[in-house]
Structure 1
Amino acid sequence: MTRMANKALSSLGMAMRAGKVLTGDDTVLRAVRQGKAALVLVAADASANTLKKYRDKCSSYGVFMAEAFSRDTLGHALGKEERVVVAITDRGFADMIRGHLSQNTEVENID
Structure 2
Amino acid sequence: MNEQKILNLLGMAQRAGRVASGDFAVTKAVQGRKARLLLVAADASEDTRKRYRQMAADASIELFYLGDRELLGHCIGKDFRAAVAVLDAGFANAIAKHCRSDSDTGVD
TM, length-normalised to structure 1: 0.93
Q: Distance in 2 between matches of 1:48 and 1:109?
A: 15
2:87 corresponding residue in structure 1 = 89
- Of the three residues 39, 42, 57, the one matched with 1:41 is 39
TM, length-normalised to structure 2: 0.95
User: Gaps spanning 5+ residues in structure 1: where?
Assistant: none
- Of the three residues 3, 13, 16, the one matched with 2:14 is 16
What RMSD in Å do the two structures reach over aligned CA positions? Answer: 0.9
Identity between Structure 1 and Structure 2 (%) = 41
Secondary structure of residue in 1 paired with 2:75: helix
User: Gaps spanning 5+ residues in structure 2: where?
Assistant: none
2:96 corresponding residue in structure 1 = 98
Question: Does the alignment pair 1:73 with 2:71?
Answer: yes
Deviation at 1:11, TM superposition (A): 0.3
Aligned partner letter, 2:81:
R
Q: Distance in 2 between matches of 1:70 and 1:92?
A: 24
Q: Distance in 1 between matches of 2:66 and 2:78?
A: 17
Deviation at 1:38, TM superposition (A): 0.3
- Of the three residues 2, 5, 16, the one matched with 2:3 is 5
Q: Could you report, residue by residue, the CA deviation over 1:3-42 in whole angstroms, capped at 9, with x for unpaired residues?
A: 2110000000000000000001111111111110000100
Q: Could you report, residue by residue, the CA deviation over 1:66-105 in whole angstroms, capped at 9, with x for unpaired residues?
A: 1111111111111111111100000000001111111112
